[in-house]
Chain A
Amino acid sequence: MERIVGIDLGTTNSLIAYVDDAGPQVIADNETGQKTLPSIVSFLPNDRVVVGREAGELARTQPLSTIRSVKRFMGLGMEHVSAEDRQRYRFVDDQGDTSSLVRFAIHDRQVTPPEVSAVILRALRDRAEAALQEEVRKVVITVPAYFNDSQRQATKDAGKLAGLEVIRLLNEPTAASLAYGLNTKEEGLIAVYDFGGGTFDVSILRLHTGIFEVLSTNGNTRLGGDDIDQSIAERFLLTELAEELRHDPQVLNSALRATEKAKQVLSDQDETVLNLAVPDKGVQLSRRLSRHEMEAAVDEIVARTLEPCRQALKDAGLETQDIEEVVLVGGSTRMPLVRQRVGEFFGRTPLTDIDPDEVVALGAAVQADTLSGRRRDMLLLDVVPLSLGIETMGGVMSHLIERNTTIPASVKEMFTTAVDDQTAVAVHVLQGERELVQDCRSLARFSIPIEPKPAGVPRVEVTFMIDANGILNVSATDLRTGLERSLEVKPSYGLTDEEVERLLEESIDFAEEDIEQRLLIEARTEADTVLHAADKALRQNAAFLQEGEEEQIDQVVQKVREACAGEDYDLIRDLTEELSQVTTPFAQRIMDSSIQEALGEKQLSDL
């Protein structure tokens, strides 16, 4: 029996797990012993990539070519990208004619979100292969329960691009319930509350002798710890900065890292210090932050997770008191405020026995074990999170499959022609709960080829099938001839099959960097940035230099340059640090003066 492993492809962190005789376990990196792999990918100019913690470090100096939280972009079009994200990254302009799928502009190439995710998947696979000493090809990948069809398809494409066979996409909250082994219960109703870095999901399940039946699911694919960080940063850091600095990708990136760190500390302590230092931009801020202040600022975000909980309960036809167990999943549930709010809402203390970082990956491994045919005592009955339908007259969406329908689900719909000799019928597939087409998410368009006949005579039956992955498949049969008709389905926000093939071929030369080389390049890049900044400052602001300062800086610059020619990355890093330090007072003086200038201008305009 070929092994199937489970992958939690998270917004913030990704993990890979498998099942052995001792039960499910997460596979740690052979070298570092780390179990979580930060979902960060940095693209270097030489067609090399860096993944994980090292990429996180590169983000400080190369924010534009380092993608974090790529999951937020999966299956989206450019029109769905927020203003903040547009400031954070560079995108390829919408070409208008073809689909407006998100494409990052990195160095001189275009990179789609599935390609970025594929890099993460490959790193996880390598990790598993090293640990298990065997080839790993088949995987279960988890997705937020509330992911729509395009987002699921994009995840599947990512697997394919990583050279993996995606046996199943599994909903994250459902995976968590499997990991908790709640099947020991004869009968029961549980709620899974999954609040991660970028997404929020809630699922209500009925357990019945080994069957995990999802009754309803709800959520928000754009709500998570990232929003908490953003909100803290805006409230306590960015307001202190000049307008143009607030939008600077490097400053923004550092501000978000600083707030995330402070937020995490405040899960265990009552007070911390919020620090923001971006020497090249002359930014240096520091302020005390209490848990109380932070909670007041982010309570609104936490409250936004309760509405989906209410809706999910309603869809399941249940009240809060019917729920016997609440399971917490995701890093953001470490916040005391979140635990408190969830506890109040459901009127019971939530379960937190399993590490919220690992629980989804462990559940994916359990499901992988079932799919590989090794166990038959558990069965998941999952649902489609959003209603599926087609566009009808007047721009109205007509539902074919209602949300929370158990999958696999299929429905047949008859199509005919409206005018004589019509040779095709166009179909527009949509997903969402709203009435008007413009308020729903466009999934795909296809056209049914038809032999020219008088109007109303042709009869073509189209089957819409949502498979066990929650992904839509369509097929058509000509009822007059009984023959299957092939359909060319064009995804609204996805890669076409040909594009996946092409990327698969190209991706071969997109090799991963080996670690030594990686650190060296990283150190050189960082040195380069600082050298560049120092050089520019010396040329433009020589007036601010003090006696002997230029010579002192020049000396270190020289040392850094020499080190960069060599291979010792530790030395390069140390010297870069030294250069930062000797230039800090100089940078501070430049900053002070530009602030005064800014204030001066303001006073003038106030007059």
Chain B
Amino acid sequence: MPTVVRCWRCQDEHIPQVFCPACEALQPLPPDIDYFTVFGLARDPVLDEQALANTYYDLSRQLHPDLHQTGTAEEQEASLQNTAVLNRAYRTLRDPVQRGQYWLELNGEQLGKENNKVPPDLALLVFEVQEQLAAVREAQSAGTDDARAGLKSELTQVWDDLDDRMQGLQQKLAANFSKWRQADDASDLLSGLKRVLSEMAYLRTLTRDVEKALSIF
């Protein structure tokens, strides 16, 4: 059963929602509200990203502090807190990787636990990238301009490779999500889903490292 909350203004009791059904005052969202619920969505990792964006804009139009500047202190505070929650929810849900991770957490699953080893087919890539990053660090202090230029083009190549892989994984993830949705018993799909998410998380970190290294050229 959903919990009942009380309106700060008219004391009406109702299930959590943005505006009080009785007096229309802006209500603070419960602190433990989940991100899918913020958007009025079922807890389902498969979602229409364009519809998500549109809902985000609509909710922003209702909640944003700029539009409650003339309200009472309670309304201003609720507007600030709710918009912060909305923004966090949107940031998490619009990104397939973060959305997947968040969804796993909601279902009591952790990515880290059994997936804290580098996925086998990524291991080679990880070593390769680490080696190149070390070379960049060295060239920083000692290298010639030619050597630096060479490294830069190599690093750019690595970045492109990582990017390609990421795109591939994203397609895989989408496919996994829809399979999961259609299956009656999804438990055996879960491990596949986790593997893809974990690979993506690794790729992200690597990509970020490479970008950091590239930014010094």
Contact = CB atoms under 8 A, between A and B. Distances in A.
A380 B87 contact: no
Contacts of B90: 406
A209 B67 CA distance: 16
Interface of A: 1, 167-168, 208-209, 211, 213, 311, 367, 370-373, 376, 379-381, 405-411, 465, 467-468
Interface string B89-110: 0110000000000000000000
Interface size class of B (residues with CB under 8 A): 10 to 19
Contacts of B69: 167-168, 371-373
Contacts of B61: 211, 379
B49 to A, nearest CB: 13
Given A379-B60, A410-B81, A468 B65 contact: yes
A376 B67 CA distance: 7
A278 B80 CA distance: 56
15 contacts: A167-B69, A211-B61, A372-B69, A379-B60, A379-B64, A405-B87, A406-B91, A408-B65, A409-B87, A409-B88, A410-B81, A410-B88, A465-B80, A467-B80, A468-B66
A381 B60 contact: yes
A1 B70 contact: yes
A25 B87 CA distance: 33
A467 B66 CA distance: 11
A168 B69 CA distance: 10
B57 A465 contact: no
B91 A209 contact: no
Contact of B84 (A1, A311, A380, A410): A410
Contacts of B91: 405-406
B83 interface: yes
A379 B60 CA distance: 8
A371 B64 CA distance: 11
Nearest to A373: B70
A520 to B, nearest CB: 45
A168 B65 CA distance: 10
Nearest to A380: B66
B80 A211 contact: no
B87 A379 contact: no
Nearest to A314: B211
Interface in B6-45: none
Contacts of A1: 70
Contacts of B88: 409-411
Nearest to A211: B57
B66 A371 contact: yes
A153 B60 CA distance: 25
Contact of A208 (B57, B80, B85, B87): B57
B37 to A, nearest CB: 18
A411 B91 CA distance: 13
Nearest to B215: A311
Contacts of B65: 408, 467-468
B86 to A, nearest CB: 9
Interface in B40-84: 57, 60-61, 64-67, 69-70, 80-81, 83-84
A407 B87 contact: yes
Nearest to B64: A379
Contact of B66 (A379, A411, A465): A379
Contact of B80 (A371, A376, A468): A468
The 7 A-B pairs with the shortest beta carbon distances in the complex, nearest first, are A410-B84, A373-B70, A408-B84, A406-B87, A371-B69, A468-B65, A408-B83
Interface in B88-139: 88, 90-91
A128 B87 CA distance: 36
B12 to A, nearest CB: 25
Contacts of A411: 88
Nearest to B70: A373
A410 B86 CA distance: 10
B2 to A, nearest CB: 22
Given A379-B67, A380-B66, A409 B84 contact: yes
Contacts of B84: 408-410, 465
Contacts of B87: 405-409
A196 B91 CA distance: 32
A71 to B, nearest CB: 24
Nearest to A375: B67
A211 B67 contact: no
A406 B60 CA distance: 11
Contacts of A468: 64-66, 80
A304 to B, nearest CB: 14
A349 B80 CA distance: 39
Given A370-B67, A371-B66, A376-B67, A211 B60 contact: yes
A318 to B, nearest CB: 15
Contacts of A405: 87, 91
Nearest to A468: B65
Contacts of A367: 66
Nearest to A382: B66
A465 B77 CA distance: 12
Contacts of A376: 67
Nearest to A307: B215
A274 B61 CA distance: 54
Contacts of B70: 1, 372-373
A357 to B, nearest CB: 26
Residue in B65, B66, B81, B85 whose Cβ sees the most chain A Cβ within 10 Å: B66
A418 B143 CA distance: 45
Residue in B61, B70, B87, B90 whose Cβ sees the most chain A Cβ within 10 Å: B87
Nearest to B67: A376
A375 B150 CA distance: 56
Contacts of B80: 408, 465, 467-468
Nearest to B211: A314
Given A373-B69, A410-B88, 5 more contacts: A209-B57, A211-B61, A213-B57, A380-B66, A410-B85
Residue in B67, B70, B84, B85 whose Cβ sees the most chain A Cβ within 10 Å: B84
Nearest to A411: B88
A114 to B, nearest CB: 24
A408 B70 CA distance: 18
A565 B203 CA distance: 79
A512 B67 CA distance: 37
A380 B83 CA distance: 13
A372 B69 CA distance: 7
Contacts of A373: 69-70
Interface string B176-217: 000000000000000000000000000000000000000100
Contacts of B215: 311
Contacts of A311: 215
Contacts of A372: 69-70
Nearest to B87: A406
Contacts of A213: 57
Contacts of B60: 211, 379, 381
Nearest to A209: B57
